[in-house]
Amino acid sequence: MRAPSLLVVCLICVGCGQADVDGPQPCGPVSHEEAMAYVDQVSKRIREEDFRAVVAELASDAYEGRGPGSAGDARAREWIAARLADANVAPGAGESYQQPFGLVGITTDLPEAWVFSTGASVAPRTEFVANVGNQTNRAALSDAELVFVGFGIQAPEYEWDDYKSMDVSGKVLVMLNNDPEWDPDLFAGERRLYSGRWTYKYEIAARLGAAGAIIVHTTPSAGYPWQVVETSWSGPQFELPFEGEPRLKVAAWLTEEAVRRLLASADHDLDELTQAARSRDFVPVPLGIRTTLKMDARLDRVETANVLGVLPGCDEKLRHEAVIITAHHDHLGMGAASAEGEDVIYNGAFDNATGVAAVLSLAEALAALPTPPRRSIVFALVGAEEQGLIGSSYYARHPTFPPGRIAANINFDGLGFWGAARDMIFIGLGKSTLDEIASSVASHVGRTLHGDQFPDQGYYYRSDQFSFARIGVPGIYLDGGVEIIGKPEGWGKQQIDAYTARDYHQPSDELTEDWVFDGMVADARFGLLTTYLVAQADHMQAWNPGDEFAAAREQALADLASAAPE
């Protein structure tokens, strides 16, 4: 499709909103059809060979797995910043491309066994992982009582309270992963909400004064096997510095079999307790089990950074608003070898060198447009995502644009290397006015738009768009497609399942010769068109009425209005 003839170029300056020639749209077209045709002229800059080059670079052993605060992390950030500069994208953190933030790295020494009052014990790593949760050098539980609290959820909007006003201060809470999923009118049915995420469960347990929390791991409830928990919780666990918020002394996971054995030692049955937890009438169950536990930890303070670039907008008014494009640049760093020659570098090729490649490709393409978009575009390659969305959370606390002026977040976290797809997965479909924009793009590029194909795994709350949602910003998490062109039905899901079981958060997440890049290019192009439509829209994006994040958007807009000069 040819570019429309009505386009003119803003000839005075980026962001001025003025032009020295007459024309109806000096900052590019606004209608969806014309805007996408306009962007198509630069979409060919997104090429397979460039994608491969970025992934090959960042996922190489030279960056040592890009662990937060490591030398490899610093080299990766410098390399990304240089690529943004090469793309003629301005620094996004004042005069710098980097927005630094401090981290506390907590390396917990697990005991040889975790022993309970019934005589039951569980083995470190193979049956339990735990972390000192209060940013001190030692966590101690002294004869603490274990209480089963079902799903560990308080949700008045669903008339659900697993705690029933029980005082759980000083206790160790045992809780199920996920949230109730058997009723479509309860917790959105199979779609996991934030209340089903492990981070929520630790947060609420800490807020209620518990000393510790144990989450029961099952592969179906977590969405990944135990080995992912084991490797993710090995080595230093990074957090933002303590600011007075409630914290647990001990945050732990146990395998399902270990929990079964522990409960049986006190004449409890996990299946019976789980069945009881499936009711609003559930009340916490003291288990008649107590534990004393001491764990030492080493605390290291390191610094990492978000890498930020900005393309200033062209419209005099809308240039003060922004579209934020995100991908995380970090991964898990290096593990400890248990045998000679063992690969211990967590290269993070799919997760998330591919996402970085997508953001860099969008930066180059958007900077090459004849005239910038109406709104500003922020390219945010955030750090420490694997440690709990820390970099994007830090940006959300210290944004370069007020939350009420961030139109939307477009996030990339793993672009499929299995080939081009007939469909596109939009994680977050149905939540905001972004639905209309994504639908227009899908129609333009000839792809079928689907919502989350694995709603039970809670992907919306597992990547950086969630940090923006919490401050009211609607987001799109573009997750590729599963209907791979030229492959039989179900083949794409099989590949994703195999990757999750074999390579997710493992040293084997590496670039190999069998990777196919045409799907990544198509997905990045989808993101490019989506970004431009959001940037050109007359109005800010909004959550659909009743969405869980609508109130946060209203608050952000109210804060903006109250801060405006009279």
Residue 100 forms part of a structural domain: no
- Residue 543 shares a structural domain with residue 512: yes
pLDDT of residue 14: 36
pLDDT of residue 1: 36
- CATH of residue 257's domain is 3.50.30.30
Angle, helices 32-43/354-367, rounded to nearest 10 degrees = 110
pLDDT of residue 333: 93
Q: How far lies 417's CA from each of 104, 220, 257, 325, 441, in Å? A: 34, 24, 35, 21, 21
- Residue 210 shares a structural domain with residue 347: no
- Residue 133 shares a structural domain with residue 232: yes
Residue 21 forms part of a structural domain: no
- Residue 358 shares a structural domain with residue 499: yes
Residue 200 forms part of a structural domain: yes
Contact 155, 302 (CB under 8 A): no
Residue 16 forms part of a structural domain: no
Contact 154, 204 (CB under 8 A): yes
- How far apart are the C-alpha atoms of 219 and 215, rounded to whole Å? 12
- Residue 365 shares a structural domain with residue 266: no
Residue 387 forms part of a structural domain: yes
- Residue 278 shares a structural domain with residue 327: no
Residue 195 forms part of a structural domain: yes
- How far apart are the C-alpha atoms of 3 and 25, rounded to whole Å? 14
- Residue 425 shares a structural domain with residue 289: no
Alpha-carbon Rg for the chain in angstroms: 24
β-pair type (448-450, 423-427): parallel
Q: How far lies 405's CA from each of 327, 353, 535, 557, in Å? A: 20, 29, 12, 8
Contact 164, 147 (CB under 8 A): no
- Residue 75 shares a structural domain with residue 121: no
- How far apart are the C-alpha atoms of 153 and 170, rounded to whole Å? 18
- Residue 151 shares a structural domain with residue 289: yes
pLDDT of residue 341: 84
- How far apart are the C-alpha atoms of 320 and 316, rounded to whole Å? 8
- CATH of residue 48's domain is 3.40.630.10
Amino acid found at 210: A
- Residue 293 shares a structural domain with residue 267: yes
Residue 96 forms part of a structural domain: no
Peptide bond into 352 cis (omega under 30): yes
Residue 258 forms part of a structural domain: yes
Contact 119, 262 (CB under 8 A): no
pLDDT of residue 459: 85
- Residue 44 shares a structural domain with residue 147: no
- Residue 172 shares a structural domain with residue 69: no
pLDDT in tens, the chain (566 residues): 333 333 333 333 333 333 333 344 689 999 999 999 999 999 999 999 999 999 999 999 999 999 999 999 999 999 999 999 999 999 999 999 999 999 999 999 999 999 999 999 999 999 999 999 999 999 999 999 999 999 999 999 899 999 999 999 999 999 999 888 888 888 878 888 888 889 999 999 999 999 999 999 999 888 889 999 998 888 888 899 988 899 999 999 999 999 999 999 999 999 999 999 999 999 999 999 999 999 999 999 999 999 999 999 999 999 999 999 999 999 999 988 888 889 999 999 999 999 999 999 999 999 999 999 999 999 999 999 998 899 999 999 999 999 999 999 999 999 999 999 999 999 999 999 999 999 999 999 999 999 987 777 788 998 999 999 999 999 999 988 999 999 999 999 999 999 988 999 999 999 999 999 999 999 999 999 999 999 999 999 999 998 989 999 999 999 999 887 65
Task: Tell me how many domains the chain contains.
Answer: 2
pLDDT of residue 13: 37
* Residue 421 per-residue DSSP state: B
Cα first-last separation, the chain: 47
Domain range enclosing 136: 106-299
Q: Scan for tokens 């928990």, then name that residue.
A: 229
- How far apart are the C-alpha atoms of 151 and 163, rounded to whole Å? 10
β-pair type (322-328, 376-382): parallel
pLDDT of residue 196: 86
